[in-house]
Chains A and B, each alone.
Chain A
Amino acid sequence: MRRRGFLAGVAAALVHGPRTWAAAGSPAFLAAARHPDGSFWLHGLGEDGRDIFSIALPARGHAAAAHPERPEAVAFARRPGTFAAILDCATGQQTAALTAPSGRHFYGHGAFSRDGEILLTTENQIETGEGRVGLWSVAEGYRRIGELPSGGIGPHDIVRLPDDGFAVANGGIRTHPNTGREKLNLDTMRPNLAILASDGSLLDVAELGEDLHQNSIRHLAVDDAGRIAFAMQWQGDLYDVPPLLGVARPGAKPELLAAEEIIQRQTQGYAGSVSFSGDGSTIGITAPRGNLAVAFDVSTGRPSQIVKKSDICGIAPTKLGMCATTGTGQFLRLEANQSHLIRNDDLSWDNHLVSVQK
């Protein structure tokens, strides 16, 4: 197998010092939050929801990416941001910053290569609207070293796959910083799920049917078997009630999962995050506009649990099931088809709950 050098990890032994996530208290998750005084913080949380650390952020972020070994987090600005901070979660210090190259902006998510050498970031090539994946060398202080086509327009989430490749959610929506988040191509949008090989080459692009061309593929989760769950945000008539969750394996046609109509309607056509359960038996999506989360049984494709919580959005796996966060300060565990309120704080948990890989 031919591989380009950038993911081969030849220099791995040199840059990996002894510092690991243990130095930051071994958090299970990263989550950003707005505190009552209006400040924004990145929290490291245990699987039981307890605070392990918190680091002040300069502004509201979108997602974070956790380095696979080093206690380092990348906190991305909200799109169309051009800034991301590298935070040392052991010391609470910012150790580096990413600035998008001229003519590019970030779309809010990133992922690391398995060896931790390369950070990949989803980006917009502003002039053409083409999606890009930016490449940054961790060992060189997060220096920009190149970029790849994302395989579509408006790449949002990116996750690493068990075979060391990556999945990219190309949301299909073209935006331009001059018009903020205005959607410029709703009539012609064509979202896709793109699969990149470990060398960065584009392996596969899966599109949905014509009737779902306005279903923006935005967020991703992957399980140990390499199944990719993708959550969508519908841009068409809200009351057409489309599915908002799909499951794909590289090379196979994605399968779409939907609950019965009365549940689908409540989601308001908008899924905010997606996660597998720790045992891989269920997939949860959150619907903050509908104030609910729906867990689907992977074997039957049918919903197995509905959780109604205001502004629920972050979701991530635990050993037994999943946990979720809300914009109203709640941290919940969803296990064995029960939901348990673990924490209820005077703060707003932000969009995503990011797993720190073990």
Chain B
Amino acid sequence: MRHLIAALAFAGALGAAKADEQTIAAVVDDHIIPAFAELDAAADDLATEARKDCAPTSEPLRVAYQSAYDAWLGAAHLQIGPLEEAEFAFALSFWPDPRGKTAKALRRLIAAKDPIAGSGDYSKVSVAARGFLALERMLYDDTITGDAGYKCTLLRAISDDIAATADKLHQGWLDTHAASFKSAGAPGNEVFPATEDAIRKFYTALMTSLGFDAEARIGRPLGTVQKPRPRRAEARRSGRPLRNLRLSIAAQRAFAAALTPAGQDDTAPQVDAAFRRVLDQIAEVDNPLLDGTASSTAWLKIDIIKQDIVAIQVTVDGTLGRDLGLFVGFNSRDGD
């Protein structure tokens, strides 16, 4: 009898590992790889447009910037694998930036006509001068002034660098990290000794990213009802604060769906409903800059979105986290 129970328990553990493997494969193949492929392609288009016409007012260039930034929001929540490895995440998105380091770094480069911009080695500069927020300044901030020829070189260098980074991220997943995640639990996999370790990595990324949306993307411009802080909104110069939030939430909705194990009938609709509520609120709020200064009603509408993002975390924790048997943040949430 004891042998039978042990055998059943062993079979159960094997079944759980098998289910984990399917989940990991679905997340990697159907969610992560396509997101980075799209970013890679959109960033290439951006670099191409910048080469054709580097005028900040160029409409095709601005469209390419917006599209590539959109694609980044489809992948930015995946702070695992190559994004976690080096400075890639900051190199694409140096934000929040309360001390205005991006503008300072760009002004310094322009004033000195620093030859690094034309060297093909732009990844050596400070992360503050790289990525979408730096490019946004070059395109939409008319206080970034200086020699037009150098500014053109700089804008192209930033665009090329974004494309190179996006390529490295995509290749990193294809070459190494997809296999590393998909072989979780296999002998010799030291990064993920058990399938659960890979699942936890995904889950932690989802929770971290939801927290960033609530605390930074919406929390920073929200401020307090007495003192909203719209100038702290992400990518406000190119009109993207609400758009970034919407795209981020939509991407995480897909991520959460891919992460939900098959056979959990209650979880998928509950989690999806929590995401949908936020996306519905976003669709209704006519406030692309997340500017709560107009009235307390305007502020309150933004605050409601924030509360509903926190509610997603609670829902995910109580459903998906429970299904996956994960207890995340034992220490990080204890706060002591």
A344 in contact with B331 (CB, 8 Å): no
Q: Is the pair A240, B331 in contact by a Cβ cutoff of 8 Å?
A: no
A308 within 8 A of B: yes
Flag if A310 contacts B200 (CB, 8 Å).
yes
Whether the Cβ atoms of B201 and A341 lie closer than 8 Å is no
The reply on B97 being an interface residue by CB < 8 A is: yes
Indicate if A44 sits at the interface (CB-CB under 8 A). Answer: no
Question: Given A62-B336, A78-B336 in contact, is the A239-B97 Cβ separation under 8 Å?
Answer: yes
Tell me the A78-137 residues at the B interface (CB within 8 Å).
Answer: 78-79, 108
B90 adjacent to A311 (CB under 8 Å):
no
Instruction: Report yes or no: A288 in contact with B336, Cβ–Cβ below 8 A.
Output: no
B84 touches A311 (CB 8 A): no
C-alpha gap A34/B330 in the complex (Å): 9
A279-310 vs B, Cβ < 8 Å mask (1 yes, 0 no): 00000000011010000000000000000101
Q: Are B200 and A181 touching (Cβ within 8 A)?
A: no
Interface residues on A, range: 20 to 34
Q: Which residues of A are found within 8 Å of B127, using beta-carbon distances?
A: 261-262
B204 contacts across to A, CB distance below 8 A: 291, 310
Interface string of B316-331 (1 = CB under 8 A from A): 0000000000011111
Given the known A-B contacts A288-B331, A311-B329, A348-B330, are A328 and B90 also in contact in the complex, defined by CB atoms under 8 Å? no
**How would residues 183 to 197 of chain B score, 1 for a CB under 8 Å from any chain A CB and 0 otherwise?**
000000010011001
The answer to whether B335 touches A181, judged by C-beta atoms less than 8 angstroms apart, is: yes
B263 adjacent to chain A (CB < 8 Å):
no
Residues of A with C-beta under 8 A to B84: 308
Q: Chain B: interface residue count, which band? A: 20 to 34
B216 smallest CB distance to A (angstroms): 8
| Total contacts A-B at CB 8 Å | 74
Q: B97, A344: Cβ atoms under 8 Å?
A: no
CA separation between A237 and B223, bound complex, in Å? 12
Is B87 part of the binding interface, using a Cβ–Cβ cutoff of 8 Å?
A: yes
A344 touches B90 (CB 8 A): no
- A294 to B82 alpha-carbon distance, docked (Å): 19
Q: Contacts A79-B336, A261-B127, A328-B200 hold; do A311 and B330 have CB atoms under 8 A apart?
A: yes
Answer whether residue B96 sits at the interface, using C-beta atoms and an 8 A cutoff: yes
A289 to B90 alpha-carbon distance, docked (Å):
17
A237 to B193, CA, bound (A): 37
Please indicate the chain A residues that have their CB under 8 angstroms from the CB of B98 in the complex. 237, 239-240
State whether B193 touches A327 (Cβ < 8 A). Answer: no
Residue from the list A238, A240, A348, A351 in contact with B327, Cβ < 8 A: A348
Tell me the dominant secondary structure on chain B's binding face.
loop
Chain B residues near A34 (CB-CB < 8 A): 327, 330
- Distance in Å: Cβ of B332 to nearest Cβ of chain A: 4
Question: When A237-B98, A311-B329, A350-B330 are in contact, do A108 and B336 touch as well, CB less than 8 Å?
Answer: yes
A231 CB to nearest chain B CB (Å): 12
Compute how far the CA of A232 lies from the CA of B232 in the bound complex, rounded to whole angstroms.
25
List CB contacts (< 8 Å) of B125-142 with chain A.
127-128
Q: Collect the chain A residues with CB atoms within 8 Å of residue B266's CB.
A: none
Chain A residues with Cβ under 8 A from B215's Cβ? 238
A6 to chain B, nearest CB (A): 29
A325 nearest CB across to chain B (Å): 9
Residues in A313-342 with C-beta less than 8 Å from chain B: 313, 326-328, 341
- In the complex, how many angstroms separate the beta carbon of B37 from the nearest chain A beta carbon? 25
User: B129: shortest Cβ distance to chain A, in Å?
Assistant: 12
In Å, the complex CA distance between A269 and B296 comes to 31
- Are A288 and B200 touching (Cβ within 8 A)? no
Give every chain A residue within 8 A of B327 (Cβ-Cβ): 34, 327, 348
Chain B residues contacting A349 (CB-CB under 8 Å) are 330-331
In angstroms, Cα B214 to Cα A238, docked, is 14
The answer for the CA separation of A189 and B197 in the assembled complex, in Å, is 40
Residues of A within 8 A of B128 (CB): 261
Q: Which residues of B contact A172 (CB under 8 A)?
A: none
A351 and B87 in contact, given A239-B98, A291-B204 (Cβ under 8 angstroms)? no
Please, which residues of chain B bring their CB within 8 A of the CB of A261?
Answer: 127-128
CB distance from A299 to the nearest CB of B (A): 25
State A238–B95 Cα separation when bound (angstroms). Answer: 11
Chain B min CB distance to A294 (Å): 15
Binding site for B on A (CB under 8 A): 34, 62, 78-79, 108, 156, 181, 218, 237-240, 261-262, 265, 270, 272, 288-289, 291, 308, 310-313, 326-328, 341, 344, 348-351
Given contacts A261-B128, A265-B90, A341-B193, 7 further A-B contacts (CB under 8 A): A261-B127, A262-B90, A310-B201, A344-B197, A348-B331, A349-B330, A349-B331
Listed by A's residue number, 24 A-B pairs whose Cβ atoms lie within 8 Å are A34-B330, A78-B334, A108-B336, A156-B336, A181-B336, A238-B215, A239-B216, A261-B127, A262-B127, A272-B331, A272-B332, A289-B332, A291-B332, A310-B201, A311-B330, A312-B331, A313-B332, A327-B327, A327-B331, A328-B197, A344-B193, A344-B197, A350-B330, A351-B331
